Amino acid sequence: MNFPSKLIEDAVTAFSQLPGVGKKTALRLVLHMLQEPVEISEQFADAIVDMRKKIKFCAHCHNVSDDTICSICSGSGRDKTTVCVVESIRDIMAIENTNQYKGLYHVLGGVISPIEGVSPKDLNIDTFIQRIPKEGIKEIIMALSPTIEGDTTIFYLSRQLKDQDVKITTLARGISFGGELEYADEMTLGRSIMTRRLYDNDINKSQG
C-alpha cells in the first residue's frame, strides 16, 4: 500500500500491529482519527500509555490491578479460603460475570505445553504453592481449559500440593446448558454419561 504521508503510514503500521487488524482496517481507523478533533487522539493515546505504564499485577494473584493488591484480593465479602486457578485474566472476567463465585483467584499466565516451550517454571506456580499454607486456603478450584495441556497442568499442580491439607476440585465437564443432546459430540456426551450425577443429590446441593 502506498501512502501520501509518512505520518499516516507510521500510524497505519502501529494500528496494524494489533491482533485482528489488517492494513485496510488500520487505514480506516487512522482516517477516522484524522476527521475527529485532535483532543480525541490525545485522550486515546493517553489512555493507552497510562494503562501500559501504570498497570500493576497483583502481588497475590497476578490479576491486573491499579494497586499492589487487586480489588478482588483486598475486597471484603470474599471467601478467602477458596482460590480458583485460571489461565489468564480473561478467565477471571468470565467467571466474575457469572456472579456465582465469591472466592479468590490465581492467574497462572498459561498452561504447561512443551510443544510451545512453556514449562512449569514459565508459569506463576511457585507463588501459588507458597500461597496455600500462608493464606490458609481450604479449597482450590482448577478452572483450566479441558485440553491435554490444561489437564497436564492440573495434574502437575496437584502433585506439587500432595503434602498439603487442601481440597482440590475441577470444573464439571459435560453437556452445555440449553444445548440439545443430539448436537453434543460423542466425547462430551460419553463423558457426561460416565460422570453422571445423582438427581436428588443435585437438588439437595442447590438448596443447601
Partner 1 sequence: METFSFAEKFNCFVGKNGAGKTNVLDAIYYLCMCKSYISGIDKNVVRQGQPGFRLEASFDVDEKEMQVVAKVRVRKKKVFECNREAYKRLALHIGRFPVVMIAPDDTSLAREGSEERRRFINNTLSQLDPIYLNQLIIYNRALNQRNAALKQFAEDGSFNLSLMEALNRQLLEPAAYIYQKRKEWMGQLEVLLKENYAFISNKQEAVSCRYESKLSQANFEDLLLQNLDKDRYLQRTTAGIHKDDLVFYIGDKPLKRFASQGQLKTFVLALKLAQYHLLQKNKDQFPLLLLDDIFDKLDASRVAQLLDLLSEERFGQVFLTDTHEERMKAMAEKIQHHFSIFKIENGQLKNEM
Residues interacting with partner 1, by CB under 8 A? 112-115, 117, 119-120, 148-149, 151-153, 155-156, 159-160, 185-187, 190
Residue number, 22 or 75, with CB nearest to partner 1: 22
Residue number, 104 or 142, with CB nearest to partner 1: 142
Min separation Cβ 57 and partner 1, Å: 25
Name the grid cell of 84: 480458583
Phi, psi of 17 (to 5 degrees): -75, -15
Element of type H or E holding 201: helix 199-207
Rounded CA-CA distance 167/161 in Å is 10
Query: In angstroms, what is the C-alpha Rg of the chain?
Result: 23
Min separation Cβ 190 and partner 1, Å: 6
Min separation Cβ 159 and partner 1, Å: 4
Residue number, 47 or 187, with CB nearest to partner 1: 187
Min separation Cβ 8 and partner 1, Å: 31
Task: Look at residue 22 and give its three-state secondary structure.
Answer: coil
Name the grid cell of 56: 500493576
Residue number, 4 or 117, with CB nearest to partner 1: 117
Are 173 and 191 a contacting pair, CB within 8 Å?
yes
**Residue 84 gets which letter from DSSP?**
E
